[in-house]
Amino acid sequence: MKKAEPLPLFKTWVPEWVIRAVLFWALLPPFLLLGLYAGSAAEVAGYYGVEPADVQFSILLYYAGLVAFLPFDPHLGSYLRLRDYLALSVVLLVTLVGLAGWVRDFRLLLVLRFLQGTVACTIVTPLLSLIFSRLHTTRARAMGYAIFYGGLLASAPLGTILSWSVLDRYPVPALFHVFLLLVVPGALLLLLLLNGVRTRRRLPLTQLEWPSWVLLSAALLGLSYLASYGQQLYWLESPVAWLALGLVTVGGGAFGWRQWHLKRPYIHLGVFRYRTFRVGLALFMVFYFFRGTTNIAAAYFTGVLHVDARQMVLLQAATLLGIVLGVSVVVRFVLLGTPLRRLLVVGFVLLLTHHVWMYLLFGPAQGLSVFLLPMLLQGLAVGVVLVPLALFTMGGLPPQLATAGTFAAVAFRNLGFVGSLAVTSVLQPYWRTAQLDRFRADLLPSASEVAVRVQGLQQTLQGKGLALETAQRGATSLLARTLETQTLLRYCLNYFGLVSLGIMALLVVLLVLPPLHRQAVTFRQRPL
The whole-number pLDDT of residue 357 equals 93
Q: Say how far apart CA 296 and CA 380 lie, in whole Å.
A: 18
Q: What is each CA distance from 510 to 290, 514, 525, in whole angstroms?
A: 15, 9, 20
Question: Three-state SS for 375?
Answer: helix
Residue 184 contacts by C-beta under 8 Å, 6 or more apart in sequence? Answer: 90, 94
Kindly write down the DSSP assignment for every residue of 403-471, as one continuous string.
HHHHHHHHHHHHHHHHHHHHHHHHHHHHHHHHHHHHHHHHTSTT-HHHHHHHHHHHHHHHHTT--HHHH
Question: Three-state SS for 364?
Answer: coil
The whole-number pLDDT of residue 53 equals 87
The whole-number pLDDT of residue 49 equals 86
Q: 76-86 pLDDT, tens per residue?
A: 777 778 888 88
3-state secondary structure 16-84: HHHHHHHHHHHHHHHHHHHCCCHHHHHHHHHHHCCCHHHHHHHHHHHHHHHHHHCCCHHHHHHHCCHHH
Query: What residue type is assigned to position 209 of the chain?
Result: E
| Bridge partners, 194 (sequence order) | 10
DSSP H helices in 71-136: 73-76, 82-100, 106-133
Q: Say how far apart CA 221 and CA 215 lie, in whole Å.
A: 10
The whole-number pLDDT of residue 514 equals 60
The whole-number pLDDT of residue 135 equals 64
Nearest to 262 by CA among 226, 313, 211: 211
Q: 458-492 pLDDT, tens per residue?
A: 556 555 555 555 555 555 555 556 666 777 788 88
Nearest to 123 by CA among 166, 94, 165: 94
Which residue ranges of the chain lie beneath pLDDT 70? Answer: 1-7, 134-141, 199-200, 203-207, 365, 432-484, 513-528
Question: Three-state SS for 4?
Answer: coil
Q: Say how far apart CA 186 and CA 159 lie, in whole Å.
A: 18
The whole-number pLDDT of residue 74 equals 75
Q: What is each CA distance from 256 to 216, 260, 266, in whole angstroms?
A: 9, 7, 10
The whole-number pLDDT of residue 110 equals 92
The whole-number pLDDT of residue 378 equals 92
Q: Which helix (H) or strand (E) holds 385?
A: helix 372-395
Query: What residue type is assigned to position 171 of the chain?
Result: P
pTM of the model: 0.84
Q: What is each CA distance from 284 to 92, 124, 127, 163, 390, in whole angstroms?
A: 32, 21, 24, 28, 8
Report the length, in residues, of the chain: 528
* CB-based burial label for 360 (10 Å; 0-12, 13-18, 19+): exposed
Instruction: Indicate the DSSP class of residue 344.
Output: H
